[in-house]
Structure formats: structure tokens, C-alpha cells
A and B are shown apart, each in its own frame.
Chain A
């Protein structure tokens, strides 16, 4: 495989979990709920996919487990922030902390070891030399765009993130829309897990990708295509590091910082003041107050 082709496909593998998670972020924030729990949700879905695959003996079983895990974890965030109107950042942080424990607890109980699962061979098939789920990112991005901008559901979901009071007076079920957005972000985190590392779960393996995904979502201005494009930028920066860090005559630690430095620089310099959904982060209470 020539180097360029290898760069392209490996980059896609590295980028797509970030991209799936950033689509999850878009779903959640478009309906007005900040979701910094992406990291924690992904941590649990990555365990669930291995667990499901090993227990059912198929990749699809793993995917099913991952989706259920994603929906359950996102569901906690939804109940806490939408029904009980707890501060969305606080809930997100709590879920991220909880997720670390959930992964270890399940692993200890199921596999007798806290930090890693056994090896899983029921992984997605390959296409052009890489995990097929990385390619699936492309139609999923198009689908998310279609759902958000070309369907009635999408129009309602977005209206709730912009002006929930107006949506409410028009008979739109604000609570239902917000739950839908947050739960869909859980499903997106499950898709992220299909590429992240489905052959074995290791604790802490998400390594901050959930946060990078949030940066990508903001850089992409809350637009699904923008968020995915930003994820690819960050992902390919990381790929560059992976492939070429040995050939660059500076300490590896600096090269490893590249995607994170890039994220900070891009957010600080190029995004300027980004305007997200107007009502994001504000719990909706009927009739004001």
C-alpha cells in the first residue's frame, strides 16, 4: 500500500470515532442540551460492543449492546438534565466520572479483570483494508444532515434548541424533542465504538476523543457536515503523528500534542465567536420562571 493511500484510510479510521461522537454532540446541542458526557458514553459503549460481540458471537450483537449502552448512558443525562433540570455541565461531568467506574465494574464482574477484556474476534468486516464502519461515516453524515434539515422532526428539534417557548406554544413537545436529541447522541456514541477498537476493551481507551469531538462540533458550527469536517482535520493531524513521529527530529511528546494543540489553536483563532443554538444549556421550564 503506498504511503498516501495508507494515510487516507488510517486517517479515516482514526477520525471516524471523533466524527460519530461530534454528530452525537450536534444532535444533543441542536435540541438545546449540552452534552459533555460524550466521552463517558463512548467509554461505556466501547465496553458494551466487546461484551455484546463475545456473548452473542456476532458483531451485530455487539452493535446492539453498544446502542443499548449508549441510549442508557445518554438516557441518564436526559433524565437528569431535561426532567430534573440539573445543570447540564454538572450532569455531564458526573456521567464521565461514573463511566470510568461502570467500565471497570462490568469488566471485573464479567471477565474477572478490571482494566481489559479478553480479545474479541467478532469485529466488523473490512472494506478497502479498513473497518467498514469507518466508511459508514459518510452515509451517516448525510443521513444526519437530511434528518436535521429536511424532515419535520429535524425542524422541530432545531426549533426547540433555539426558542423552546415558541416551539411549546406551537404545540411541539419540547421534552420529547430534547429526549430524542440526547438519546440519538447515545446512538452516535455507539457507532463511534464500532470503529474505536472493537477487538478489545481497555480502560480509558477513549482517551479524550469525546472532548475533541465537542471541539469539532463547535468548530463545525453545530452543523453535521462542518462537525465531521472538523473531526477529520483533528483525526488526520493525529494520523500524521502516528505515521511520521519517528521521522521527525523533535521529541515525540511534542508531536503527540499536535491534535490537541491544533484543537485549541483552531478554536481560539479561527472560530471567533461561534453562535450555537440560542437556548442551549438553559433548562426549559413551562410558562417561564
Chain B
């Protein structure tokens, strides 16, 4: 009897059938991967399982008993726990407080004892849990000081402490290093050995093939196929996911680097709390090459890009564009000199979400002809024409150029940004996490655009947390760790393992953990 069975789940939102007769089951002791593009219905299905939505049709069975789930709390009471993509942790609380939060009640008769938070017995229970599952962490450290991989461990502990039998992981590897991913798959094995069931939601087919016992592909709200891992291949799953064959390998010809476009020298910077984020970093990017910056997020990549794209407060160092010192230039001067920027957080820095696509597409050039007239009024017609032609050229799926940016899917929003930045004919393209949260179809398009930029003789600096992305696009790979470039390697000599070690801060690539 399966641990969990969802039968014929249908969920309709205005205009979209998010789940259309979906059936999904999970056996005790297995890892069942759920794969599909963004918007395929994975998240909806899991939200139904977690009680955030009620299904319009269909039923949920736990150990063969039909049940209904009224919310996250009720889900966990029935043994279903979820590790969200964005952790549900309180950053300023200690690990211990995060684990016991909401679960502190103990039945003692005395009122004062019921009110007082006695952490000793809880601590002992958690220590035992950590040992049994090999999930050791320092219980007294505030969560915000911990690396992402450890924070994830805290999330898992939270669920185990609440007695979860089914654990759902939503894109758990997106933010992890290869070593941390290895640790996570070990944890998966520990948990399944104890008879727990794991639902693993992912885009990353390599990992799916590595950890899953069964794989279910979902597309446009329907289950396309459920298959055992044996016999499944990356190409087959990718085919099923998008419904048409996709090019997973990027066609990326060897670079022919020409003159130097960007050079940064001895950059040193601290954040507003005084911690060093860049320390004596030097780097050069040439026309016609893609330099990829690999690294665990938070090792100064964001600050590096910001220092190049805009006038950031730095302690020392210089930024040169084509030999000219631009360190003290402001954003507009830099953009006009030929720097284009695809920011890592497209919602906050890339788009004005409530503005139309047309307005978003001329941002940065909105103050110049042909988009403004002689005394400063905006030439709406020119703006809209430009937008229409760009929408066509970049295959942006939208009802029209007057649609507000927030109405588009993530992939199409990203295409809008790329269209804007590329149409400015830059000499240097800064691309930060260009495919984050973007489906395979759009990812492929974005990869092509980045390679195209290189072939047109532009210099490209790519920052990504996705190592596969770095390896398939870059001509040179630099690894950032604690504000420094600790390793640099040409594409043909780069290996994932070696880069992973440096991402973790290893001094020599041949050291073991």
C-alpha cells in the first residue's frame, strides 16, 4: 500500500487548468521525482498536498485512508512536511528555536511550567534526532549565520521533529554546492532507509537521475509518464517535459578573444556591517569571450557585478572599460559607454513591474531620441513601434506591448530584459543568474542569446549559481570564494568536481573534504 496517493486531482484557476486529473503516488522508502517546466503544475499539486489549495476534484489517501488537508499545520500533523525553495526559517532565531517553534507545548499540570519555555528536554530530543539522521548542527547559532546547506538541514530537522513520514523537497539543490548536494542525497538515503517517502521536485535532470527511484513527468497540468529510474535518460525526460526535442547541449564555438574590454584591479569592498565582500579582486574580460563566475551565492558575486555596473562604495580598486578608468562614473555614463546588465533579481532591479512592456524596453534610453521629442515629451508611437519589433525579434510571448510587465511569465520577463540590454548594442554584457526560475524553453533561448553576444564580439561576464550553466557557456571559469577569485580555469580543462572544491573554499583541488 502506498504511503501517499493523490488520485485524479483536478484544480482549475480562472483561465488555466493547473492540474488535470493528476494521479501520483509515493511508496514508503522511495524517492519519487516530479519534473516539469515552470507552470506545468508541480507547484499546484504540491500546494494541494500541503493544504494551501483545496482540489476541485480528486482525493488524497494516506496509508490507504482518504483524508482532507486543511493547511500546512494540518499536513504536518498528518505526517506530510515540505522543504520550501525559500526556507521557512526565522533568520534571527537560533537553530533550536527554529526547530521547536510552534511545537513547544508539553503537557505538565502546573501553569507556570506550561508557560515557561523549558528547552532542556527539547534539546535532548533534537540531539538524538540529529545523531540518528547524521544531521549535526550547532543548535545555538542564529540561522542567518549558517551556510545555505546547513539551513536546509535545519528545515529537514524541523520536519523530522514533527514526525513527518512524507517529505517534499521543492527544488532543494538550486542553492547548493556540489558537495552539499552530495550531502543531501546521503540524507535522502538515510531517510528512505527508515521507511520515509521523499518527493523530489527539480529541473535538474542529472540530479533526478542520480537520486530518484521513480520519475514522473508533468506537462501542462497532466501526468505524461511515470517511469522507474532504470532505463530513463536525460534526453527522454527532457523530451517529455517540453513536448518537443530540446537542445540541452549549447552550441558554443571556441572563443576568439580580442582586445581587453573590462579590467578590474584590486577591488576591495565591505558591506554596510563592515564585513569584507570583495578583497583585492582583479579580473579581465576580452571582446569575444564569456567569462563565467562560479561560486556559492554570497561570496561577493553580487557586489562584483554591482561595482562594474554602477558606482558602488568601495574601499579601493579600479574599474576600466576599454582602458578608461570608469570607477567614478555613474550608472548612466557607464550604460552609455556600452555596459549592459541583466540583474540577478529581475523583479527588483530589472523591470518596473507595473509599467508596460514598451516602457520597460526603453528604460535607460527613455530620455534620448528617438524616444523623446525636442522639449522632452515622450514619443509614444516611436516607443511602441520599437517595442513591437523587439517583441517579435526576441519571441516574447505577450498579448501586446502595452501589457504590464508583471503579467508575463518569468521566462518572458527575462526575455524583455535581454531584449532591452542587447538592443542597446553593448560592448560588455553583465549577466547575473540569467536563467534563474526560467523554464527550459526560455533557458535555451537565453543561452543562445549569450553565445550570440560573444560571437558578435561582445565581452560577456556571466555569474551563475548553476554550475552546469557556467560550464556550458563559459570560455574561462573563475571561482569566487569570500570575495576573491580563488581558481581560474579554461573551459576545456574545467571539471565540476575541481570547481566544486574551490567553491567550498578548499586550498587545493586535490584535497578531500
Interface residues of A, Cβ cutoff 8 Å to B: 150-156, 158-159, 162-163, 165-172, 273, 278, 287
Contact = CB atoms under 8 A, between A and B. Distances in A.
A172 B93 CA distance: 16
B272 interface: yes
The prevalent SS among residues of B at the interface is: loop
Contacts of A158: 90, 93
A151 B118 CA distance: 8
B469 interface: no
A286 B97 CA distance: 23
The prevalent SS among residues of A at the interface is: helix
A169 B72 contact: yes
A280 to B, nearest CB: 12
A171 B101 CA distance: 9
A153 B101 CA distance: 10
Contact of A169 (B73, B77, B97): B73
Interface of B: 52, 72-73, 76-77, 82, 88-93, 97, 100-105, 115-117, 158, 272
A172 B115 contact: no
B102 A162 contact: no
B88 A155 contact: no
A150 B112 CA distance: 11
B317 to A, nearest CB: 24
A152 B88 contact: no
A152 B90 contact: no
A169 B82 CA distance: 10
Contacts of A153: 115
Contacts of A150: 116-117
A152 B117 contact: yes
B408 to A, nearest CB: 17
B115 A167 contact: no
B91 A278 contact: yes
A163 B101 CA distance: 12
A288 to B, nearest CB: 9
B92 A171 contact: no
A168 B105 CA distance: 16
A246 B269 CA distance: 52
A86 B90 CA distance: 25
A171 B102 contact: yes
A203 B398 CA distance: 60
- Considering the complex of A and B, which 9 residue pairs feature the smallest CB-CB distances, nearest first? A171-B73, A170-B102, A166-B88, A169-B72, A162-B90, A152-B104, A163-B90, A172-B102, A152-B117
Contacts of B93: 158-159, 162
A151 B115 contact: yes
Nearest to A279: B90
Contacts of A171: 72-73, 76-77, 102
Contact of B117 (A151, A163, A172): A151
B339 to A, nearest CB: 29
B52 A155 contact: no
Contacts of A273: 272
A152 B105 contact: yes
Given A168-B72, A169-B72, A171-B72, A155 B117 contact: yes
A25 to B, nearest CB: 18
A152 B73 contact: no
Contacts of A156: 101-102
A153 B88 CA distance: 19
A58 B104 CA distance: 42
Given A156-B102, A159-B97, A273-B272, 6 more contacts: A152-B104, A155-B97, A155-B104, A162-B93, A170-B158, A171-B72
A163 B89 contact: yes
The listed residue with most A CB atoms (<10 A of its CB), out of B72, B89, B102, is: B102
Contacts of B97: 155, 159
Contact of B101 (A151, A170, A278, A287): A170
Contacts of A151: 115-117
A169 B88 contact: yes
Contacts of A168: 72
A151 B100 CA distance: 12
